Amino acid sequence: MNVKTLVLLCLLLNLCVILGEREKKARGQRKRRLHPEGRQEAGFVNRNSARQSKPRRLHSPAKVPNINADESTITFLDSYIGVDETESSYNVVPGRQGHCKANGMIMYDKAVWSPKPCLTCLCSSGKVVCDEMNCPILKCARTIIRTGECCPICTSIEPNDPSETYYPVILSNQDLQIEQEEQLRREEQELDEEEELRRKDEEQKRKSEEKKRKDEERQRKLEEARHREEEKLRQMEEEELQKAEEQKHLHEENQQLEKETSSRAVEEDEEQDDDYEEGYDDEEEDDDDDGEGGDDDEEEDEDYADIFEFPLFPSILGLIPYHPDEESPTFSLPVGCDITDFTINCNNAKLTQIPPVSDLELKHLYLAGNSITTIPAEAFNGIPNLEWIDLSRNKILSTNVDQEAFKKLKKLKRLNMDGNLLLQIPPQLPRTLVELKINENLLQRLEEESFHGLSKIVNLELEGNKLSENNVQPLAFRPLTRLTYLRLGRNKFRILPQGLPPSIEELYLEHNEIEEISEISLNKTTNLNVIVLKNNKLDETRIAPMAWIKLENLESLDLSHNKIVHVPSFLPKGLLYLVLVHNQIERIPGFVFAHMEPGLEYLYLSFNKLTSGGIDPVSFFGTYNTMRELFLNHNMLKRVPFGIPDMKALHFLRLNDNLIRNVRLESICNANDQDDSNIRTLHLENNYINTRRIPPTAFSCIELYSSVVLKPQKVK
* Per-residue pLDDT reduced to its tens digit, 635-653: 999 999 999 999 999 999 9
Whether 476 contacts 450, CB under 8 Å: yes
Rounded to the nearest 5°, which phi and psi values hold at 91? -75, 145
Name residue 445's amino acid.
R
Cα(53)–Cα(48) distance, rounded to whole angstroms?
Answer: 9
- Domain extents in the chain: 1-34, 60-134, 443-566, 586-716
SS3 assignment, position 401: strand
**Three-state SS across 243-285?**
HHHHHHHHHHHHHHHHHHHHHHHHHHHHHHHHHHHCCHHHHHH
Amino acid of residue 251: H
The predicted pLDDT at position 58 comes to: 38
Q: How far is CA 128 from the centre of its chain?
A: 87
* The pLDDT of residue 301: 43
The average pLDDT across 309-319 equals 31
Which of these ranges, 21-35, 277-291, 585-599, has the smallest mean pLDDT?
Answer: 277-291
pLDDT over threshold 50, residue 50? no
Domains 443-566 and 586-716 share a fold: yes
**Mapping DSSP to helix (H, G, I), strand (E, B) and coil, where does residue 185 land?**
helix
Task: Encode pLDDT of 613-634 as tens digits.
Answer: 999 999 999 999 999 999 999 9
The whole model's pTM is what? 0.56
Q: What is the pLDDT of residue 346?
A: 94
Return the CATH class of domain 586-716: alpha beta
Which pLDDT score, from 0 to 100, does residue 166 have? 42
Query: What SS3 state is found at 556?
Result: strand
Q: Which amino acid is at 221?
A: K
Residue 143 is predicted with a pLDDT of 75
Residue 439 predicted with pLDDT over 90: yes
Look at residue 564 and tell me whether its pLDDT is greater than 90: yes
Q: From CA 587, how far away is CA 584, in angstroms rounded?
A: 9
Do residues 408 and 433 touch, judged by C-beta distance below 8 A?
no
What local confidence, expressed as pLDDT, does residue 158 receive?
A: 54
End-to-end CA separation in angstroms for the chain: 113
- CATH class of domain segment(s) 443-566: alpha beta
Mean pLDDT, to the nearest integer, of 122-134? 80
Contact residues for 412 (Cβ-Cβ < 8 A; gap 6+): 386, 387, 388, 389, 406, 430, 432, 433
Contacts of 399 (CB under 8 A, 6+ apart): none
Between 692 and 675, the higher pLDDT residue:
692
Q: Confirm if 423 and 444 have CB atoms less than 8 A apart.
A: yes
Q: How far does CA 255 lie from the centroid of its chain?
A: 69
Over residues 459-473, mean pLDDT: 96
Q: What average pLDDT does the chain have?
A: 78
Specify the range with the lowest mean pLDDT, choosing from 332-336, 582-586, 668-672: 332-336
pLDDT at residue 559 in the model: 97
**Residues in Cβ contact with 236 at an 8 Å cutoff, skipping those fewer than 6 apart:** 328, 330
Q: Reply yes or no on whether the pLDDT at 165 is more than 70.
A: no
Whole-number Å distance between alpha carbons of 163 and 275: 141
